Amino acid sequence: MQLGIFAKTYNRRTVEQTLQAVRNDGLSAVQFNMSVLGLPTIPDPIGPQAIAEIAQAADAARVTLAAISGTFNAAHPDPDTRVAYLDRFPNLAQAAAELEIPVITLSSGTRNREDMWRCHPDNSTKQAWDDSRTSLTRLAAIAEDHGLVVAFEPEHTNVVADATLARRMLGEVSSPALGIVFDAANLLDPDTATTQSMTTTIRDAITVLGPGIALAHAKELTIGRRPVPAGAGILPWRHILDSLTDAGYRGPLIIHGLDEHDVPNAVHTLSGALAGPLHR
C-alpha cells in the first residue's frame, strides 16, 4: 500500500508548500481538500487556474492525488441543507475528474444539526436512513457521470454506523460508483475494546465489505479518542493491514487524526507494519 495523508494536516500558506510538506515527511499520496486553497470543501465552480495550481504542485512534490474530501451531512434533518450541498457537488466532481483524482470521500450523515460527526437518537430511524440513501444515490450518479467513485465511511456516530449497515447501503444504492472508506477506529469503542474484540470486529468488517473498500484511512484509537499518531494507541495495525491485503485491497493508506509534529511517528509505525514479516 502507498502511504498518504490528509492535506489539511499541514497548515501552510500555499498548495505548493502543503504538498511539499507531505513529501518531506516521506509520504507519496494525499487526500486533498479544497480548504487548502481557502475554498469550501464542496465549492462553487472552480476555475482553470486553481486546477492548474493543484496539478502543478502535485507534480512538483511528486505526490499522488489519491482522493479528495467531499464530506457534508448527507442525512441532515433539513432537506434544503442537503439539497444545497448536492447541487454544488458536481463542481467538486468536475474538479476531481480534471485532476484525475479517482475517489471522493463522503459521510452518510447524522440527524445532529450542529456537528456531522456527532450521534443523534434519530440516526436509527427509517427517515434518517432513507434521507441518507437518497443523498448517496444522487452522489453516486454524479460520480458515475464523471468516471469517479464516491466512498462513504461507516462511522459509529453516523446513520451508517457499522460494516453490516454499510453493506446494506451498498446493496440498496446498487451503484458501481459507490464504495467504502475503511477506518477501523470508527468501528470500535475504545472504552470496551479488547485485543480479541478488536481483531474480530476488524476481520469481520473487512470480510463483509471486501471489494467495496475504495480507500483506507489510518487513524489511531485511544480512550477519549484523542488525536495521536498510529502506534500511540490501541489499534492492531499489522492485523488491520494484513486483513485489508487478504481482502484484495491495494490502494493507498491515508493517515489522519493527528497533529503535524506527530506525522513522522505515524509514518514509522505504519511503514514498519507494511514491511513486517506477517504482512502479506
- pTM score of the predicted model: 0.96
| Alpha-carbon span 140 to 90, nearest angstrom | 11
- Confidence at residue 277, expressed as pLDDT on a 0 to 100 scale: 57
| Alpha-carbon span 108 to 169, nearest angstrom | 10
| Alpha-carbon span 268 to 274, nearest angstrom | 10
Q: What are phi and psi of 252, to 5 degrees?
A: -75, 160
Average pLDDT over residues 230-241: 96
Task: Work out the pLDDT band at 279, boundaries 50, 70, 90.
Answer: very low
pLDDT tens across 129-151, in order? 999 999 999 999 999 999 999 99
pLDDT at 278 over 60: no
pLDDT tens across 86-112, in order? 999 999 999 999 999 999 999 999 999
List the one residue out of 37, 34, 109 whose CA is nearest residue 76.
109
- Left (φ > 0), alpha (ψ -120 to 50) or beta: where does 194 sit? beta
Alpha helix segments (H runs only) across the chain = 15-24, 48-61, 79-98, 126-145, 163-173, 195-209, 237-246, 263-275
| Alpha-carbon span 2 to 27, nearest angstrom | 8
CA distances from 25 to 22, 99, 131 (A): 5, 23, 40
CATH no. of 3-275: 3.20.20.150
Rg (CA), the chain: 18
Average pLDDT over residues 200-225: 96
| Alpha-carbon span 41 to 69, nearest angstrom | 7
List the one residue out of 201, 129, 184, 196 whose CA is nearest residue 158.
129
List the one residue out of 91, 178, 96, 107 whose CA is nearest residue 140.
178
List the one residue out of 233, 235, 234 whose CA is nearest residue 262.
233
pLDDT tens across 4-44, in order? 999 999 999 999 999 999 999 999 999 999 999 999 999 99
Cell of 72: 457534508
Q: Where are the domains of the chain?
A: 3-275
pLDDT tens across 120-129, in order? 999 999 999 9
Q: Residue 218: in which H helix or E strand, if any?
A: strand 213-218
pLDDT at 280 over 50: no
CB neighbourhood size of 124 (10 A): 13
| Alpha-carbon span 21 to 9, nearest angstrom | 10
What residue type is 172 in one-letter code? E
CB 186 within 8 A of CB 156: yes
Q: What are phi and psi of 42, to 5 degrees?
A: -110, 100
- Confidence at residue 275, expressed as pLDDT on a 0 to 100 scale: 87
Cell 472552480 sits on residue = 46
